[in-house]
Structure 1
Amino acid sequence: MSNSATELLVSACIQLLQAYAPFDQMEAESLRFLAERVKLAHYPKGALILASEMGVARTLHIVQRGQVRVRRSGGSSSAESASITLGPGSCFSIGALMAQRESSSAYIARDDVFCYELPAEDFFSLTQKSTVFNLFCTQYIAGLLRQSQQQLQLQFAQRAAEQKTMNSPLARVITRDPVSVAPETPVRQVVELMASRHLGSMVVVDSGQQPVGIFTLSDVLKRIVLPGASLDQAIEAVMSPQPRTLPLAANAHDAALAMAMHRVRHVLAVDEGGRLKGVVSERDLFKLQGAGLRQIRHAIDSATSVEVLRHAREDVRQLSLTMLAEGVGGQEITQFISTLNDTVTRRIIELNLDRHDLYGIDWAWLSFGSEGRDEQTFTTDQDNGIVYICTDIMDREQTQLRFLEFARDVNEDLDKCGFPLCKGNIMASNPDLCLTLEEWDERFAQWVRTPDPLALLNATIFFDFRPLYGRFNLAHRMRLSLLRQTQGNPLFLRMLAQNALSVAPPLGRIRDFVTDADPGHPGTIDLKKYGVRLFTDAARLFALANQVEATNTVARLKRSSALMNISSDEVAASVEGFNFIQILRLRHQHFEQEHGRSGDNLVRPDELNEIERRILKEAFRQARKLQARLKLDYQV
C-alpha cells in the first residue's frame, strides 16, 4: 500500500477516534502511535469476537462500527446476563489485558462489526506513552461504576417512591371519603358535624357535588366567634369561596405547590366532571414526605424517651434508602448513617446521665469497629467502651462501678433502639473495656509489644476507636500514644501485615469468583470478611505505620498515600472499589430486611448483573494490589 493510502487510513482512524473518550483528550503523538498500529478486523453477525476459551487476552478491541453484545462466559443467555451492548468508540478487554488473563466475558457481534485491534505489546507501550490513556485504563473501575450507578438508582428509585409517595397521584393520597354540606346548611350544623367527625375542614358543594367553598377550624374563630356572628346563618355566608382544586391524576407535589403558591392549607381533589372526591391537607403532605434530615436531627435532639429515638432510627434508614435512590456514594451514605447513629447514642447517653452521677470526672464514650471508622451500614451491633481519669483522691474500684452501672443502662437503651448487644461483649459495660487512660495505654502497648493472634485481632477492632461523647482530648491522647508505640515496632507492623494477608480476595483462576470459602453458605461471598476487610486492614496498617490519626478507611488511604508515594490514580481506584462493595452491602442488607430477615453480608455473585460482576471483580483486584504492596513493604 502506498504511503499516501496509509496516511489516509491513519487520518481516518484518528478522526473517528477523536469523537470518543479517552481518545478525544489524548496527546496527538500518542493518538497517531495508536492509529498507525491498529488493524481493522471484521466480524459477521453472531461471530464470537472474544471469550475465555480463547486464552489470555492478546488484543485491545475498539469498536469502529456496529454493536457488540457482552455476556458472562459460561453464563445463561437470559436478558439480564446479556444486557450490555457496546457501540462505536467502546473499548473492551482492558481488564484482561492489564491482568494478562483470559477474558471473563464473551463478546459477540450483534450485527456486522468492525473493530480496531491493537496488539498487547503496543497496548502496554501506549499506556507508557500516553498519560491520558494510562489514566483511562487505571480508572477502568470508575468508568464501570458510572454505568452501574444508573442500574442501582433504578433498583432503588421505585422503592423510595413507593415509601416516600410524593409522586403518588392524589387518588392514592386520599385516605377517606369526603364529607360535604350544601351552601344553605346552618353554621351550627356544620360546626357540630366537624366536631363529631374530627374534621379540620368542611367542603361546601352545589347540587352537582362540585365544590363552591371551604370552611376550616380557623374560620370558626375568625369569622364566627370574634365577630359574634350568628350560628343560624347559612355556611355560604362565612365560607371561603372558589377553593383550590386539582384533578385526581395530579400528584402530591402538585398539591404542595398549589398550597405554597396560594397560601392555603387544603386542596380538593375532583374527578373529570369536577365532582368532589377528597380533601388533601397540609398535614397529609407532611406525612407523605417523611422525615428529612432536619426533622430527624430535631427529633433526636429533643427526644425524651427511648421510644422516640427508636422511631428516629427508622427514619435514618428510610432517608438512607432515599440517598441510595438518588445515587449518593457508599462512603457518603455510611458516614451519614454513622453520624446520625452517633447522634442517637449521644442522646441516649444524655438521658442516662440524668440518672447517674458522674459529675467532676473526666471521661469519654468510645466507639470501635465500623462505627469508629464512620462506616456503619444498615446491619450493625454495639462496639463501645469508656476511658476516664482516676485521680489520686478517687477510689478506683468505686469509680469503675459507677461507670459500669451507667454503661449497662446505655447499652440496654441502645439495644432497644436497634443497636443489638454485642455477642462478643465489646461494650462499655464490660469491665475490660471501661478503663482509665493509663490502663488503655498499657493495654495497647502490650498488644503492640506481643503481637500474638489475640493481640492482632484486638488491634483490628480497638485501634479504630473514636470518641462520641465527653472529653475528646482523652481519645486524642490515646491516639498519640498508640502511634508512638507502633512507629517504633516494625515487628508488630509486619505481624499486622501478615494478619491482613490471611484473607485473600475471592477471585478464581478458572471461575470468576471463589464462593465456597464458607461451607455453611455455598454460592455466596461474605462482602464484609472477604471484601471490606481487605481494604480496612490495609488502610489501618498504612495509618499506623505513617502516623496518620484518621480512622476512616478512605481518609486513611488518601492521607497515607501522600506519605508513601502512591499515585492519586491508584488510590482513587482503591477507593472506588471499596465504595462499590459498601454499596452492594447496603443494597443487600436493605433487601434482606425488607423480607423480614436481619440482614447479612452474604451476596450471591450469580445474582448480580453483568456490570456489577465486572465492577466487583475490579474491586477485588484493587484489594489484591493493596495486598501486593503489603507483601512488598513487609516481606511477608
Structure 2
Amino acid sequence: MADVDIPEVTDFLAEHAPFAAVPREELDRLGRRLTVRYARRGTHLMSVGKGNDEVFVVRSGAVQITDENGSLVERGGEGTGFGTTALGGSPSRFDVVAIEDCLLFVMSSEVFRELADHHPAVRDFFSEQREARLRHALVSLPQQDRHSAVLQTRLRDLLRRDPITTTGGATIREAAELMAREQVSSLLVVEGDRLTGIVTDRDLRTRVLAAGLETTQPVSAIMTPDPVTASPDALAMELILEMTSRNIHHMPVVEGRRPLGMLTSTDLMRLERANPIHLVGDVAKAKDLAALVLLSQRLPRIVDQLVHEDATADGIGRIVTAVGDAIEKRLITLAEQGLGPPPVPYAWIVLGSQARLEQGPGSDQDNALVLSDEVAPEQLEWFESLASFVVEGLVACGYPRCPGGIMASNPEWRQPLRDWKRMFARWINEPTPEAVLRSAIFFDLRLVHGERSLVNALHAHVAALAPRSGRFLAHLARNAAHNEPPLGFFRGFVLERKGEHKDRLDLKRGGVHAIVEIARVQSLSKGLPQVNTLSRISAAANAGALAPETAADLHDAFEFIRYVRLLHQARQLREGQDCDSFVSPDELSSFEKRHLRDAFHIVRSAQQTVVQSYPLGFVT
C-alpha cells in the first residue's frame, strides 16, 4: 500500500468489527494487500445489477446503501463495509453512493476470501448483513409475483353487518324465527356484551328436529358453548387455516369477549381462495373411494391459486396437509364401515412432512399404526385389512407409496405400543448411522385418527429418552450437517452433475430438509413436544437450544426456500408434470437467485452451529 502508514491502517482496522477479531500481525499483512481509493461526494461505488470483485471499508466520509426498489437500507460512516454480496461478478442488489467525500480501503475478492476462510468472525459478520437483507426480501416478497392481497385482509374489514344475537334464555322457536327474519345461518348467544355460545342451522336440524326436542326449550340447551373465536385483527389467511383444520363453517369475531360479528365460509368465498374449507367439508361427506378420488383432483388448482396470491409457504403447507388429513380420515372411516368396529383401540399416525403440517403437492405417504397392547394375534388381520384399504385409497387419490416402505400396510410399522417403545429405545440408546438415518422420520409423528393416549405415551417416551442420549443426538446432528446447501464460495449455485435432474438446483436436500433436521435435533435435545419445523425452531430458541437470532434467520430461510419451491411446483402442476424440488436456474428471477443465496448461507451457518454443539468426532 503506497504512501500509507501500515501501522495506521492496522490501528484503524483493529478498532472496527469484524477486523478487531483478527490478530495484529495478520492485520499488518492485510494492510499491505489493501489499496486506497478516493471517492468524491455523489460517486456511485456500486450499482444494482452490476458485478463487483472488491470489498470496501470506509476510512473516512459516509455512504448510503439502497436496495433495488430505492428503499434505504443503511447509511454508514467510518468502518462501514460493503461489497461482499456481489463478489465474483454476481449482479449487485444494492446501490452504494458516497454522500460525503470518502477515503476507502479496498481489498480484492481473493484477499477477502482468504481472510474469511481463516477467521469465522469475519465470515459471520458479513453473513449477518446477508441475513438482514433476506429478512428485508421476505417483507417485500408479496409484491414480486403476487397479484393481490386478499388473504392479508383483516377480519374486521370483512364484517358486513352488526352481530345477530340472542340470549341463552330465549326459546329455540324464538331463535329460529330470528334467524329466518334476519336471513342468517347462525346466531351468537350472549350474556350482556359477552359471547357465551353459538347456534347454527345445523344445530336446529340435528339437535332439535332429528332429536324431537321441544322448541319451547331454551336455546342454551342446543348451543355450542364457548365457541372458537377469531380476533378482528387476524388475517383472512389465518381464518381459512383455522376453519379448514377444524372443519367448521362459522367463526365469531370478538374483541375480548364482545362479539363484533360472524364470518362464514360463504363470506370467505368472496375472496375466491376459500376452496380448501369446502373441499375438506366435501371430503368428510364422501360416500366412497370414487368420490374421494374426484375430490382430491381439486387440490392442485387450490395450490396454484394460493401460490400466486399472498399465502405464505407455511400457510399453504398447512392447507395442503389439512386436505391430506381429511382424505386419510375419510378413508379410515370408510374402512371401518366395511370392516366393523376395531377389535382394540388403535392410533393411525402420519410421519414426515404430513406430521409436521408441511405437506406439499406430490408428497408421498408416510403412515403407521400404533395398536393397543391388548391386541391378540387373531385380531391383527383386521388391522392389516384397514391398512391395505387406506394405503391403496391414498394411492388412488394421488399420494404415492413411500419408496422406503414406511406405510401401515407394512407389518413392520403396524405394532403394539410396547413394541414401538422398544424400537424407539433401541434407536435412541443404541444408535448406528444407518438406523438413525432410517428412523429419523419416526421422530416426526402426529395422530390423525384413533386413540390419542397411545400417541401421547409414545411422545412422552421419546421426550424422556432423547435428551439423555448424546450419541443419538450426535448422529442426528451429523445428518443435519451432512446435507450441505448447494452453494459454492463466490461461485453461485452448485447444480446436480448427473442423472435426470442434471444442471438443476436441489432445493430440498441442502435447503428445506437441512432446516428440518436442524430443528429436529435441537428440539429433541430439549425433549420438546413440537413437531412442526417453525414451531420447533421457536420452541428450541425459547429453551436455549438455538440463539434467538439464529432461530429468526432459520425461520426466514425456511419460508423463502419453500416459497420458491412452491412456485416451481405450481408451474409443474399447470404443465401436468410430477412435482419435485429440482429447479432450473433459468426458472428463477434475479430476485429469487439473490435471496436463495442468502438463505443457503443461513443454513450453512446454522449447520456449523450444530456441529459445534455435538461431539460429531466420536460418531462413526
Shorter-normalised TM range: 0.5 to 0.7
Larger Rg: 1
Q: 1:63 to 1:87 in 2, by over 3 A?
A: farther
The structure 1 residue matched to 2:136, chosen from 124, 137, 143, is 143
* Aligned residue in 2 for 1:206: none
Q: Say whether 1:540 aligns with 2:533.
A: no
Q: 1:288 to 1:512 in 2, by over 3 A?
A: closer
CA distance, structure 2, for counterparts of residue 49 and residue 406 of structure 1: 60
Q: 1:326 to 1:385 in 2, by over 3 A?
A: same
Q: How far does residue 451 in structure 1 lie from its aligned partner after superposition? A: 1.8
Q: 1:88 to 1:493 in 2, by over 3 A?
A: closer
Amino acid at match of 1:421: R
Q: How far does residue 522 in structure 1 lie from its aligned partner after superposition? A: 2.5
The structure 2 residue matched to 1:364, chosen from 347, 358, 362, is 347
* Aligned residue in 2 for 1:613: 593
CA distance, structure 2, for counterparts of residue 134 and residue 366 of structure 1: 40
SS in 2 for 1:296: helix
Amino acid at match of 2:383: F
* Aligned residue in 2 for 1:180: none
CA distance, structure 1, for counterparts of residue 402 and residue 540 of structure 2: 31
SS in 1 for 2:141: helix
Structure 1 length as normaliser, TM-score? 0.62
Q: How far does residue 139 in structure 1 lie from its aligned partner after superposition? A: 3.0
CA distance, structure 1, for counterparts of residue 514 and residue 455 of structure 2: 26
* Aligned residue in 2 for 1:521: 501
Which consecutive residues of structure 1, in runs of 5 or more, have no partner in the other structure? 1-38, 71-83, 122-127, 158-285
Q: Say whether 1:420 aligns with 2:386.
A: no
CA distance, structure 1, for counterparts of residue 89 and residue 475 of structure 2: 35
CA distance, structure 1, for counterparts of residue 485 and residue 492 of structure 2: 11
SS in 2 for 1:378: coil
The structure 2 residue matched to 1:338, chosen from 321, 327, 336, is 321
* Aligned residue in 2 for 1:485: 465
Amino acid at match of 2:569: Q
SS in 1 for 2:447: strand
Q: Say whether 1:348 aligns with 2:348.
A: no
CA distance, structure 1, for counterparts of residue 313 and residue 564 of structure 2: 9
Q: 1:301 to 1:108 in 2, by over 3 A?
A: closer
Are the equivalent residues in 2 in contact too, given 1:56–1:96 (CA < 8 A)?
yes
Amino acid at match of 1:140: R
Q: 1:96 to 1:624 in 2, by over 3 A?
A: farther
Pairing 1:6-405 to 2, within 5 Å after superposition: 41-42=40-41, 54-58=53-57, 84=68, 86=70, 97=82, 102=87, 105-107=90-92, 114-115=98-99, 138-154=131-147, 292-391=275-374, 394-396=375-377, 398-405=378-385
Pairing 1:437-476 to 2, within 5 Å after superposition: 437-476=417-456
Which consecutive residues of structure 2, in runs of 5 or more, have no partner in the other structure? 1-37, 107-120, 150-268
Q: How far does residue 135 in structure 1 lie from its aligned partner after superposition? A: 9.3
Q: Say whether 1:495 aligns with 2:478.
A: no
Q: Say whether 1:623 aligns with 2:603.
A: yes
Give a deviation string over 1:208-231, Cα, whole Å, max 9, x none: xxxxxxxxxxxxxxxxxxxxxxxx
Q: Say whether 1:594 aligns with 2:593.
A: no
CA distance, structure 2, for counterparts of residue 46 and residue 95 of structure 1: 13
Amino acid at match of 1:462: F
Are the equivalent residues in 1 in contact too, given 2:483–2:510 (CA < 8 A)?
yes
CA distance, structure 2, for counterparts of residue 50 and residue 62 of structure 1: 22
CA distance, structure 2, for counterparts of residue 120 and residue 145 of structure 1: 32
Q: 1:42 to 1:331 in 2, by over 3 A?
A: same
Are the equivalent residues in 2 in contact too, given 1:141–1:615 (CA < 8 A)?
yes
* Aligned residue in 2 for 1:161: none
Q: How far does residue 50 in structure 1 lie from its aligned partner after superposition? A: 9.8
Q: How far does residue 53 in structure 1 lie from its aligned partner after superposition? A: 5.1
Q: What's the RMSD between the two structures over aligned residues? A: 3.9
Q: How far does residue 357 in structure 1 lie from its aligned partner after superposition? A: 3.1
Q: How far does residue 408 in structure 1 lie from its aligned partner after superposition? A: 0.3
Are the equivalent residues in 2 in contact too, given 1:62–1:89 (CA < 8 A)?
no
CA distance, structure 1, for counterparts of residue 286 and residue 559 of structure 2: 33
Are the equivalent residues in 2 in contact too, given 1:42–1:114 (CA < 8 A)?
yes
Q: 1:356 to 1:586 in 2, by over 3 A?
A: same
Q: How far does residue 582 in structure 1 lie from its aligned partner after superposition? A: 0.9
Q: How far does residue 101 in structure 1 lie from its aligned partner after superposition? A: 8.6
CA distance, structure 2, for counterparts of residue 48 and residue 141 of structure 1: 19
Q: 1:610 to 1:108 in 2, by over 3 A?
A: closer
Fraction of identical pairs, as percent: 26
Are the equivalent residues in 1 in contact too, given 2:528–2:539 (CA < 8 A)?
yes
Q: How far does residue 104 in structure 1 lie from its aligned partner after superposition? A: 5.9
Amino acid at match of 2:594: R
Amino acid at match of 1:548: L
Are the equivalent residues in 2 in contact too, given 1:448–1:455 (CA < 8 A)?
no
Structure 2 length as normaliser, TM-score? 0.64
Amino acid at match of 1:139: A
CA distance, structure 2, for counterparts of residue 507 and residue 104 of structure 1: 15
Are the equivalent residues in 2 in contact too, given 1:138–1:570 (CA < 8 A)?
no
Are the equivalent residues in 2 in contact too, given 1:449–1:492 (CA < 8 A)?
yes
Give a deviation string over 1:20-57, Cα, whole Å, max 9, x none: xxxxxxxxxxxxxxxxxxx9745668987996653345
Amino acid at match of 1:395: A
Give a deviation string over 1:396-419, Cα, whole Å, max 9, x none: 2x2222211111011111111111
Are the equivalent residues in 1 in contact too, given 2:373–2:418 (CA < 8 A)?
no
Q: How far does residue 318 in structure 1 lie from its aligned partner after superposition? A: 2.4
Are the equivalent residues in 1 in contact too, given 2:52–2:90 (CA < 8 A)?
no
Q: How far does residue 453 in structure 1 lie from its aligned partner after superposition? A: 2.5
Are the equivalent residues in 1 in contact too, given 2:350–2:366 (CA < 8 A)?
yes
Q: How far does residue 578 in structure 1 lie from its aligned partner after superposition? A: 0.4
Pairing 1:573-588 to 2, within 5 Å after superposition: 573-588=553-568
Are the equivalent residues in 2 in contact too, given 1:45–1:109 (CA < 8 A)?
no
Are the equivalent residues in 2 in contact too, given 1:388–1:436 (CA < 8 A)?
yes
Q: How far does residue 387 in structure 1 lie from its aligned partner after superposition? A: 0.4
Q: 1:554 to 1:442 in 2, by over 3 A?
A: same
Are the equivalent residues in 1 in contact too, given 2:433–2:475 (CA < 8 A)?
no
SS in 1 for 2:577: coil
Amino acid at match of 1:461: I
Q: How far does residue 298 in structure 1 lie from its aligned partner after superposition? A: 2.1
SS in 2 for 1:522: coil
Q: How far does residue 384 in structure 1 lie from its aligned partner after superposition? A: 0.4
SS in 2 for 1:355: helix
Q: How far does residue 95 in structure 1 lie from its aligned partner after superposition? A: 13
Are the equivalent residues in 2 in contact too, given 1:388–1:437 (CA < 8 A)?
yes
CA distance, structure 1, for counterparts of residue 434 and residue 421 of structure 2: 17
